[in-house]
């Protein structure tokens, strides 16, 4: 499966109910009360439209590159213990604000060895404690070269819904869309300790296009 094609148009399928509702409401108020009263609703419609945009992405990085699973800003690069695989790891965290694309894409080519959902709180996803306390969903992946990588969707202060469409046993290719988080969140990637990190805190990254690290 090519990572450039998804089963939905340029607006993510998760956004169609919100976009339809806001458009209908704005249209009705415009027809009944005029543009002045409807203006705030049209602003909301434009916000919903930009939030749920989902442009196609084509991976061009080398085969050993770990690509970003999300659009956003790097907020953590540090050695930790992977809580899902219980091993020393390097954690790289990408924070998505409400203006970023919120589709989540696989950082590596590999098979999903496990999917674990953990309920939790909804503190600001920009804070590192969100990785431990917030609602989250983890994919454990075994790459085609045998490396283990964990990719964790983490809900945020406003985000209240993590969507994951894949299960254990499925195979993902880099850049392939596997989930979505609504309204501000983060994604944590746990890598082997010998991975060569290519980003620093503060870097802006794009899902499937930016390289987070390289595997040996």
How do the pLDDT tens digits run along the chain, 216 residues long? 344 444 556 888 887 888 899 999 999 999 999 899 999 999 999 988 888 888 888 899 999 999 999 999 999 999 999 999 999 999 999 998 888 888 899 999 999 999 998 886 655 555 565 566 678 899 999 998 999 999 999 886 655 678 899 999 999 999 999 998 876 688 999 999 999 999 999 999 999 999 999 999
Please pick, among 3, 22, 106, 185, the residue that the annotation labels catalytic.
Answer: 185
185 catalytic? Reply is yes
Q: Residue 141's pLDDT is what?
A: 97
Q: Which of 176, 42, 180, 183 is nearest to 108 (CA)?
A: 176
Q: Domains in the chain and their CATH numbers?
A: 1-56 (no CATH), 65-214 (2.70.70.10)
Q: Are 141 and 172 in contact (CB under 8 A)?
A: yes
Distance CA 121, CA 106 (A): 25
Distance CA 5, CA 17 (A): 22
pLDDT tens for 46-99 read: 988 888 888 888 899 999 999 999 999 999 999 999 999 999 999 999 998 888
Q: Are 21 and 49 in contact (CB under 8 A)?
A: no
């Amino acid at each position: 499966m090519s990572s450039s094609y998804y089963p939905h148009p340029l607006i993510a399928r998760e956004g169609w109910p919100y976009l339809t509702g806001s458009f209908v409401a704005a249209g009705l108020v415009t027809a009944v009360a005029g543009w002045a009263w409807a203006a705030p609703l049209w602003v909301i419609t434009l916000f919903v439209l930009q939030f749920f945009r989902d442009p196609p992405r084509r991976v061009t990085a080398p085969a050993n590159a770990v690509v970003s699973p999300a659009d956003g800003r790097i907020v953590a690069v540090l050695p930790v213990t992977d809580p899902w695989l219980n091993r020393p790891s390097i954690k790289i965290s990408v924070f998505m604000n409400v203006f970023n694309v919120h589709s989540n894409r696989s950082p590596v080519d590999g098979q999903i060895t496990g999917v674990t959902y953990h309920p939790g709180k909804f503190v600001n996803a920009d804070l590192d404690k969100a990785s431990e306390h917030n609602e989250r969903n983890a994919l454990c992946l075994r790459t085609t070269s045998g490396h283990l990588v964990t990719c964790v969707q983490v809900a945020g202060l406003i985000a209240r819904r993590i969507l994951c469409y894949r299960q254990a046993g499925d195979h993902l290719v880099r850049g392939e869309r596997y989930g979505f988080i609504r309204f501000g969140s983060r994604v944590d990637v746990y890598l082997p300790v010998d991975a060569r990190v290519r980003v620093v805190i503060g870097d802006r990254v794009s899902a499937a296009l930016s390289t987070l690290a390289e595997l040996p």
